Structure 1
Amino acid sequence: MGAAPENPWKTLDSRLVYENRWISLSEHKVINPGGNPGIYGVVHFKNRAIGVIPLDEEGCTYLVGQYRYPLHLYTWEIPEGGGPLEEDPLEAAKRELREETGLEADHWEHILTLHLSNSVTDEMGIIYLAQGLRQGESEPEDTEALQVRRVPFDEAYRMVLSGAITDSLTVAAVLRLKLRLLGQ
């Protein structure tokens, strides 16, 4: 692929517009690649998106249902949450799986790293496959009212293909694992 091209954007000025414990929003005065002045808003995430696709010995996975406030929609997705940038992503994955499902796993494998909505954010997602599962007690956060469903993996795959699952981490994780199970 060769060397990456140089940045065609020129930043003239930047200012912080908003900040809370999860994100910050900055506005940048720029000269765009066409040579024209403009502005660019960037949402910086203070956490990584962490996803876990648990897969048991019978070929089933676990989906978490919850109401997603920004979308005003109830969604089904793999166990996922935020991991602080300074936290080891694998430790964050273990914590999220336990908190949301009560599951713990003996075997962990990183299967995917991706950027989410990279036109306006710097949010990065990291997804792990968890196997050798043991059931314990879940510990959801007070911002979570969760339902957990154990479903055959192929059912989760069909939910992705039909559009019943739209969460980007879940779609990416299920498709990556399906390719792996097909030997690709």
Structure 2
Amino acid sequence: MAEDDPLAWETLDSEVAYSCPGFDIYHEDVRLPNGTKTDFDYLTEPESVAILPFTEDGDVVVIEEWRQAVSRISRGLPVGGVEPEDENLEASAHRELTEETGYEADRVSHLTTVEPANGIADSVMHYFVARDCVPTGEQELDHNESIRSMTTTYDALKEEITADGVYDGRTILGVSYYETFGSDE
């Protein structure tokens, strides 16, 4: 995007206002196109991958995870951050699927990439479809994760979303996109 676009804001100063494992909060002083000076805060985090994993039998591997921000268990797709040592985004998808579920995929294919909250964060989410997933071992959860994995039918997952039984926006977006546009298979 061109910085000389008439809608562009000018960043006058930028600093990390708060930092913790997983994300930072930036505070910026900016000038709006009409000349007004104001400030803006946003969350910055590494890119992430979300995986819609299908077993060899066509079921979907889903997770249930405690989400402290909403004080309840959230059901959805495995999602995790891209690590610097990952060769590429496909490697990130393979790694995150195994870490969070104990399943490994024969192959993954890119579905879409979105900025899920670009009004308040610079988050980038890469969606993948994983095929022929098989359970191969134990989960390798991060120190701050409590996750249970299980399988369900794709139709049951869609019905659960339709009945307002899944609140995780990343999951709803991934399944909706897959349902609307499909994948390479």
Q: Quick check: TM above 0.5? A: yes
Aligned to 1:160: 161
Over 3 Å counting, the alpha-carbon distance change for 1:29 and 1:141 in structure 2 is: closer
- CA shift digits 1:26-45 (9 cap, x unpaired): 21111223432211112111
Over 3 Å counting, the alpha-carbon distance change for 1:69 and 1:129 in structure 2 is: same
- CA shift digits 1:110-152 (9 cap, x unpaired): 1011112111110100111011222111222332222222111
Q: Is the 8 A contact 1:157 1:178 kept in 2?
A: no
SS in 2 for 1:113: strand
Q: Is the 8 A contact 2:55 2:134 kept in 1?
A: no
Q: How many residues align?
A: 180
Q: TM-score with structure 1 length normalisation?
A: 0.87
State the identity as a percent.
22
Aligned to 1:118: 118
Q: Is the 8 A contact 2:44 2:123 kept in 1?
A: yes
Partners of 1:5 and 1:162 in 2: how far apart? Answer: 46
1:75 positional shift: 0.3
- CA shift digits 1:30-87 (9 cap, x unpaired): 1223432211112111x21211111124331011001111222210011111113563
Higher strand share: 1
Aligned to 2:179: 178
Over 3 Å counting, the alpha-carbon distance change for 1:24 and 1:163 in structure 2 is: same
Q: Which runs of 4+ in 1 moved over 4 A?
A: none
SS in 2 for 1:84: coil
SS in 2 for 1:95: helix
SS in 2 for 1:118: coil
Q: TM-score with structure 2 length normalisation?
A: 0.86
Partners of 1:182 and 1:107 in 2: how far apart? Answer: 13
Aligned to 2:76: 77
Q: Which runs of 5+ in 2 are unaligned?
A: none
Partners of 1:33 and 1:168 in 2: how far apart? Answer: 32
Over 3 Å counting, the alpha-carbon distance change for 1:182 and 1:13 in structure 2 is: closer
For 1:1-184, list aligned pairs within 5 A: 6=5, 7-45=7-45, 47-84=46-83, 87=86, 88-139=88-139, 140-181=141-182
Partners of 1:17 and 1:163 in 2: how far apart? Answer: 36
Query: Could you say what the CA RMSD is over the residues aligned between the two structures, in angstroms?
Result: 2.3
Q: Which runs of 5+ in 1 are unaligned?
A: none
Q: Is the 8 A contact 1:93 1:128 kept in 2?
A: yes
Partners of 1:159 and 1:85 in 2: how far apart? Answer: 35
SS in 1 for 2:142: coil
SS in 1 for 2:179: helix
Partners of 2:156 and 2:68 in 1: how far apart? Answer: 26
Partners of 1:83 and 1:59 in 2: how far apart? Answer: 26
Q: Which amino acid aligns with 2:144?
A: T
